[in-house]
Amino acid sequence: MGKRGHYLEIIIKNFLGFWALFSGFLFPFIIFLILFYESRLAIKNFGIVKFLTTSTWDPVSQTFGGLTMIVGTLISTFIAVLIAAPVAIGIAIFITELAPSWLKGVITSAIELLAAIPSIIYGMWGFLILANFMRSYVEPFLQKIFSPFPLLGKLFSGPPTGIDVFTTSLVLSIMIIPFMASVVKDSFNLVPSVMKESAYSLGATKWEVIKDVVIPYTISGITGGLVLSTGRALGETMAVTFLAGNVAQIPSSLFYPFTTITVALANQFTEADTPLYLSSLFYLSLILFVLSFIILSFAKIMVLRLQKRWK
Amino acid sequence: MRIYRRKVINGVMLFISFLTALYGLFWLFWILGTLFVNGFRYLTLDLFLQDPTPPGIEGGGLRHAFVGHIIITSLATLIGIPIGVCAGIYYAEYGRNSKFFMALKNITDIMVSTPSIIMGAVMYALMVVPFKQFNALSGILALALLMVPVISVTTYEMLDLVPHTLREAAYALGAYKWQIIKDVTLRAAKFGILTGILLGVARISGETAPLLFTSFNNAYLSFDLFKPMATLTVTVFNYIMGPYDYWHKQAWAAALFLTLLVLVLSLLAKALLYFGTLNPFKWKEKR
């Protein structure tokens, strides 16, 4: 047993170690290399700055610039996070501070189910149900309210079609609420109860404890949750493909159709007929990968910082 | 007077937080409700057992997509599980005190949220271009790679919960590390690891984006891994975008089935997680 066990130990350790190295290092690195290699033609032709600032995407004249898609991705993600953030923080407050213990489990599971629904379901529901509802009721209503105001009115101008930036961002926001709420909830649970109790003993109300103790203490966790869901929203494909309208334009108001990096990939990968076209699509994937990797790393660092302090 | 104002603000803010919880539930019930109303009627036996009719002729089913979906997800699971579990074990048992491997664990955690369509693009370059046609194998590999980070991170977290005293007791008996992993820690964390696997399966069974240009789509029943193969998700996507009314009905039914499948898997994972995290501590108490 002695010698055999020893050799087995070495073999097993190295075998497991290889897969650890694979999933933590080789896997992301290979993805980066492949995307970089495949997009070399587009990088050589259009460069970095030019690709990022050109809005022409024309397969006929073989000119490709990613600005329209990148702006579309950033706008829809930004609005989605803007809608989702207060809701997610509210849900986290409700679960950790307000709900009786039997309700806690129910609400937590329900919100988690929202995360489990496949993205294509959000897409078809948004496309067939929500978009109609938005077109007939919500969007005309918003236009009526906001049209007298000069700046806000412009934001809500345009034909209310339901297939636009507004509906896309709303559906995206529903999809990222669970991720945000779960991170924020976990960090709220890390607040030492001594800190909360000392605030209560000074006569603070529950809201004051949340506002002045819990939120300042967990600010890096909350930021982490926000940033994590930003990363999630960036790469969301199917729901956006159904709802964005796939019109290659930078939307001038919330009610215009637009396109994102993921929509362009989903729609055009199978039709790319020239090497330069395909390479430009890989270039877009590379940008998406690098962007979301950086954002998600930032989120991870923020959350780790809070956990470290707790330890 | 000031106290009164503070109390009112308190009440209002707490009520708003209650409303946000309702807001979340509202969307959940709206989506699930719509799925049931539109899909349940068409969830017939024919849907599972019939092949599709030529476009435009009513009737038929989605047997080809169900079969393809089962083939692709189960093969992806078979590839993804061992890689994910192995990596998770290493992070928890060997890499715990190494800064390098803890950094790798954090990167794996980041990879959990990487856009899934990226995996499709990578597999397109690796598998579709060289073979000169869409093939099921590329879709399988894309899904397998997608589930690896989910499984390895959960495995790590579950093994991390196993009390150190258990390992030390085995060390004291002169056991090798691999023996401890096999007989002590894996055994103590088996429910937790199963949770990770279920979460991974749930994650990939609803995926569409990485399959759009890897396994593509196929209107016929196919078992050939080097040919395009239909999946439920891609079929739903095409049917919803398509012009026929009966396509939409079948897509709703398939969507309902898919959602129920994923929700059941997630709930099962949650239930197992409960046992998984409960078990080692219970064991500790008994000793």
State whether B146 and B266 are in the same domain: yes
User: CA triplet B203, B208, B210: central angle to 5 degrees?
Assistant: 90
Note whether A242 contacts B258, CB cutoff 8 Å. no
A23-72: pLDDT as tens digits: 999 999 999 999 999 999 999 999 999 999 988 898 888 889 999 999 99
Contacts of B241 (CB under 8 A, 6+ apart): none
The model carries a pTM of 0.92
Cβ–Cβ below 8 Å for A23 and B83: yes
Q: Residue B126 contacts by C-beta under 8 Å, 6 or more apart in sequence?
A: A34, B138, B141
B273 and B133 inside one domain: yes
pLDDT (tens place) for every residue of chain B, 287 residues total: 688 999 999 999 999 999 999 999 999 999 999 999 999 999 888 888 888 888 888 888 899 999 999 999 999 999 999 999 999 999 999 988 899 999 999 999 999 999 999 999 999 999 998 998 999 999 999 999 999 999 999 999 999 888 889 889 999 998 888 899 989 999 888 888 898 899 899 989 999 999 999 998 888 888 989 999 999 999 999 999 988 888 999 999 999 999 999 999 999 988 887 775 655 444 444 33
Q: Domain of B105: which CATH number?
A: 1.10.3720.10
Chain A residue numbers with beta carbons less than 8 Å from the beta carbon of B102 are none
CA distance A55 to chain B (A): 22
In contact, A46 and A54? CB cutoff 8 Å? yes
Structural domain including B132 reads 43-286
- What pLDDT sits at residue B271? 86
Q: Which chain A residue has its CA at the smallest distance from B95's CA?
A: A17
A-B Cβ pairs (cutoff 8 Å, strict): 261
* pLDDT reported for residue B277: 62
Domain borders along chain A are 1-30, 39-310
Residues of B in contact with A266 (CB under 8 A): 117, 209, 212
pLDDT at position B234 is 94
Q: A310: pLDDT confidence band, cut at 50, 70 and 90?
A: low
Q: Are residues B186 and B91 in the same domain?
A: yes
- A236-268 burial code (b ≥16 CB/10 A, e <16): bbbbbbbbbbbebeebebbbbbbbbbbbbbbeb
Least CB–CB distance from B152: residue in A23, A178, A228: A23
Instruction: Select from A99, A181, A300 the Cβ nearest to the Cβ of B110.
Output: A300
pLDDT category at A305 given cuts 50, 70, 90 is: confident
CA distance B254 to A89: 34
pLDDT of residue A43: 93
Whether B30 and B165 map to the same domain: the answer is: no
Cross-chain Cβ contact B120/A236 below 8 Å: no
Those of residues 65-124 in B touching chain A at CB distance below 8 A are: 82-84, 86-87, 89-91, 93-95, 101, 103-111, 113-122, 124
If asked whether residues B205 and B273 sit together in one domain, one would say yes
Q: Which pLDDT does position A212 carry in this prediction?
A: 93
Q: Is B108 in Cβ contact with A124 (below 8 Å)?
A: no
Which of A28, A174, A281 faces B27 most closely, judged by CB atoms? A174
Q: Does B177 touch chain A (CB under 8 A)?
A: yes
Residues comprising chain B, all counted: 287
B81/B222 same-domain check? yes
Nearest CA to A182 among A234, A225, A227?
A225
Contact B148 A23 (CB under 8 A): yes
Nearest CA in chain B to A112: B266
Place A246 in a pLDDT band, splitting at 50, 70 and 90: confident
User: For chain B, what is the domain count?
Assistant: 2
Question: Is A129 close to B91, i.e. CB distance below 8 A?
Answer: no
ipTM computed for the complex: 0.91
B79 and B120 part of one domain:
yes
Same domain for B89 and B24, yes or no, is no
Whether residue B175 sits in one domain with residue B36: no
User: Cβ separation of A16 and B259 shorter than 8 Å?
Assistant: no
**Inter-chain CB proximity A121 and B255 less than 8 Å:** yes
For the domain A39-310, what is the CATH code?
A: 1.10.3720.10
B20 with B31, same domain: the answer is yes
